[in-house]
Each structure stands twice: as structure tokens, then as C-alpha cells.
Structure 1
Amino acid sequence: MLSAWSRWQALAVAAVVTAVLAGGVMVLRQSSASDTRSLCAELSDSAGLYAGNAVNIRGVKVGRVTEVTPDRGHVTVRMEIDDRPLAADVRVLAVNNSVLADRRLELVGAEATNGTELDSDDCVPLSRTATPISVSTAFDSFTKMFDEIGGAGPDSSAPVGNALAAASGQLRGTGDDLNRTIENLAGFMTDPDEFLAQMRTVFDNLTVLTDLADENWTAITDVGQNAATLTNFMGVLFGDFADIFIGFGRLGVGLDNLLSEHVGPLLDTVPSGGQSVDPAVAENLTAITQKLPAITTGLTAAIGRSPAAVSLGLQGPRFAATASDSTCLILNQAEPGSCDPMTGNAAVVDLPAVVASAIQGGAR
């Protein structure tokens, strides 16, 4: 057993050791307290922020979040960081480590180089803090967008409902055509080799066609240029045809007048019992008529050079024909003096004058 003296010695040593340990702990606490400082910031939300989240400056951890307290319209986040001077306008940003991971706080512009320092009792206001868009906020935005596009519940007047209704109206009655198209596509898909072979044949034919066009491009160019010339020629030719047809149109009026008004009465003057003119006389008259233009031209050339030239007149043959007083009246209206009644049923008719009057408006 230990003596009383030994027990007192042991108690003294224990007391000394305890005092030394207590003093070391107090010194350690004072030293630790002097190496850190408190900081608070107001954030719009605390999604992903918890006690223990890292506080960084330029990606280097300088502290941790100690407390997150809700306040009116925001949250107050308290931090414990390394003891260092902070700029009075320091900003606090909440940063996502990933889409679903917790956040960390970044101190931006923390170095107090040229300006006042942030007091340990000051809290960084909302105007100098920012938080990223949270997943819930993103989902809320998508929900709002879908509600505006598609409408809430059975709202068929929203844009998507209108679009679906319009598409339904356009597709109504086309089911058979769509079915045949799908069946054709299914047929192509069941035998793709055949389809690809046909496509290769088409491309091969196109290659031959393009090569042929390339080899004969000069001729194709000439055809195009000659086509322009041919088109111009055809335009001129059709213009000439138009003039000819216009002349025929004008001639038709005179022919119609001759046939409808003068040929009928003139035929009435021809005796129905036989020929009114002897063929031999007609042949002689024809020969004389054929020679008259040459004779007239010669006389005009010989006599017409003098100012006192003699003018020659040519009168065509006159025919005795059966004609009543009414027939002579009609003929004389067409050409005065062309019908001279001899008896009650016979008259001398100036046939060239009547024909010239019908065709040209009078004898020349």
C-alpha cells in the first residue's frame, strides 16, 4: 500500500498535469478563434445549401457554411472562413457543382486591395448575391410553357389543340391513300435490294443522259440559237399570212355583193333556149381583148409623150340578151348606161361594165 506521502505526491502530479492540459486547450482555442472570422450573406433561396457546404475563393476552399436561417423573402447563410480582410463590395455566389449535386459558395472580389473593408458585423445584401436556377424552377418554367401551349385540362382552344384539330381536318378522308403509301413503303422495306437496284438503274440512266448532253452540248446550243431565228421567221411569216387573210376578207365583201345582187339578174338575161353568143364571135372577141392591152400600151408610148397627147378610150364588147325593163333598171342602177332596151324583151348589155362595177365599184 502507498503511504500517505506517496498519495499526496500522486495527487499533486495529477493536478499539475490537469492544469497544463487545460491551459493548452485554452491556448489552442484562442489560437483557432483568432485564425477564423464569421461572415453572413442574404440569398434568394437555400436549395442545395446545408451546414458544412464549402466556401471558396477562386476555387480554393477557405471556409464552410455553419448555418442557414430563413428570413422574410430570403435566407441568411452564416459562414466561418479563414481570417482575412474582405472588400466592402464583396459578392457571394451560390454555384452548383453539378445539376443534382449540392452547392458551394464562391466569394467574388474578396480581395480588399484599394478600398474599405467589410466589417465583421456586416452581412452581404441580396443586391450582391446570386443563386443559379434550380431544378424545381426549371420544371416550373416548363410546366408554365406547356400550360400556355397546350392549355390546362381539356382546353381545346389552346394552340396545340387548334393545331391538332386542323391536322385532323386535313387528314380526314385520306386514310386509304395513307394506307396505300404505308403499304408501298412496307413493300420497299421488305425487298430493299430490289428498290436499290431500281434506284441504281435510274441513276445509271441519268448518267448516260448527262454524258450524251455533254458530248452534244454544241449542237444543243446551236438548236437553241436557231430556234430563236426560226421563231422570228415564223412571226414574220404569220404576219404576212395575216395580211393576206385580211385582203381575202376585204375581197369577200365585193364577191358577196356581186354574187348576191348582180349575178342573179345577169343570169336572167341569158336565154334559156340556147346560147346567146356565137362561140366563133366569142373566140374572136377574146383574141381582140388579149391584144388590146399591148396595142393600148404602144399607142400610149407613141402619143402620150407630147403635152397635147391623144387619149384613147377602150370600150368593151356589148351583148344582145333577153332582158325585161325591170332587169335593165337594176343593171343601170349598178352601172348607168350598161343596159339599153331594144324591144320589150331584148336589150343590149355592156357586160364588162356590169362586172367591173360589181368588182371595183365601176368601170375603169
Structure 2
Amino acid sequence: MIKNRKLVISTAVVAGVVAAAGVGFAMVTGDTTTSSSGYCAIMPDAVGLYEGNPVTQMGLQIGRVDHIRSKGDHVEVSFSLDAGRHYPAGVKAVTRSKSLLADRSLELVGNYQTGPQLKSGQCIALDHSFTPKSISEIAGSAADFIDAMAPDNGKDSFQNAVAGFDAALHGNGELARAMMQHAASASANPDQLISDIGSSILNMAPLTDEALQRWSSLRSILDQMPQVVDAGNKLWPGVLNVTNGTGWLVATLYDIQRSYGDVLWPLLKGGVADVIHLAATRSKDIAALLESIPPVAAMLRQQADNNGGLAITYAPPTVNVGGAEIPAAGLLGLTLAKGQ
């Protein structure tokens, strides 16, 4: 009896586990196979994109294209997406292919993190859709470029080239003539041209040799250049101050000239000019006089400071005529009186 009861309980437990696993499997399968439709993207074109083509994200298929409708200058691509994923409202749509010849897939660019989501019935705007250039567009662009460079009418291209050459040379005839003359003279005597080039190279040789010999000095100068530039930056405010002071000095001199110029200029052109001319012509005599001042001053200073030094007693000479007394007169005074 007990064994039968245990067998019944074990059978019930196993049946319950199997039922739960079946329900879970059914739920998972349902989630993965269910898809939601109603999404669309406004694309510039749908070249290489067909109904049933895959919709991918990072290369993995997440849906498929349902319908493609032309809307004038753009195309509306309707597609469905697998359930279980979320996409941002600002997701971008790009048609992607491994080559220009293969069918393309619709790639959704952008992963959802936070914020609004892309909902069913909502279309991706045209400014969020991008398509690569088609083969026909690439070929057409190349053809347009070739036509612009070489039109079908060869006469027009030659005419345009001549007209452009004429416009470029307009007003430059003398320069072109001089250039051609110099080129002709150089071509007429190529040996001289080659000789001049060789002379230039030979003349540069001592300079380069000297530069190599003094490279250590040049490198030292370059190494010290940052400190010199820094010192120059520090001295620059002083230059600005000098400039400001010079401006003030010029303004002051201008005020003096405007107020006292009629008095100063005659004086500077007259007496001051004569004094400067006399000083310039007698510069040697003035220099000799100035050179004699320090010895004389030193001698006088020594006589005044040294009480026990050499002293000379001087008395003016007098004349005794032996008669009535005549007041004594100095020799210097008599000489001056006679000169008068």
C-alpha cells in the first residue's frame, strides 16, 4: 500500500514538471515567433530593396520588409519587427548591401537606452533615412563629369580653351614676352646656365660647411631660443611704456613748437647755431682746456688741504723814484693803465 502511494506521488510530480516545461516552452516559442507590423520608413529611394528582404540591426535579422510604395520623390517602406526588442524613436534607417549588385537589406541604426520608443504605426522620417548611390547614379555622375571636361562638340572645347587662355593672358603680354625672352636667351646658351647653377652650388658649399662646423653653436642658440623669447615677452611691457612716453614727448614738443616756435626757431638758427659751429671748429682747444682742468684742480686742492706743503709768497712789485712819495701801484695796474 505504501509502495503504491509513493508510486502515485512520484508519477504526479513528474507529470507536473513535464506540464510546466511544456507551458514554458510554448510561451517562449510564442514570444519569439510573434512579430508586430505597422512600422514604416520614408526613404529617398528603394533601389535593391524588395518585399520580403530582411530588416537587420548590426547585421542580425530582426524583421522583414512587407510593402514598398512610391510616393513621388520618395518611397515608403513598410516593415514588421520581431517582438521582444525596443527601438528609440529617433532610430535611423539605412539600406545596406555587401556590394552594388546584391539585394539590399533595411538596417536600423541606434540602440534603445532611455526615452521615447518607436511604436507601431510610426514612420521613420526622411531626414533619418539614407541610401547609398545606385550604379546608374554613379555612372551618370561620371558621364556628366566627362561631358563637362570634353563635350561632344570638340570645336566648343577647343574654343573654350582658347578663350580661357586669352582671358588669362589679358594684360600680361609684357610679362609673358619678357619671360619668353629670358627662356630663349637661357636656351640659346645652355652652358652658361649650367655654369651659373654649378657656381651657385659651389658658392653654397662654404656656407653649408661652415654651418656643419658651427652646428653645436647653432643648436645652442636654438636651445636658448625659448628663454630668449620668454625674456622678450617680459621686456615687451617696457617697450610699450617707452612707446607711450614717446607719444607724450612728441605731444609736448608739438605744444612747445605751436606756442613758442616763432621765438625759439630764430634763436636756434642764430646764436645757438653759431655756438655749436664754434664749438665744432675749436673742438681740439676745448678738449685740451677740459683735460687741463683736473690737474689744476688737484694741485689747488692739495695746496688747500696740506698745511705743511709748498707755499709761495707773492707781493706785487713797487717802484721808488726817490722824491716825493708816490703811492705804490701794482705792476699789473700800471700795465693796464698804459694799455689804455
User: In terms of Rg, which structure is larger?
Assistant: 1
Q: After TM superposition, is the score higher than 0.5?
A: no
Taking structure 2 as the reference length, the TM-score comes to 0.37
- The structure richer in helix per residue is 2
Taking structure 1 as the reference length, the TM-score comes to 0.34
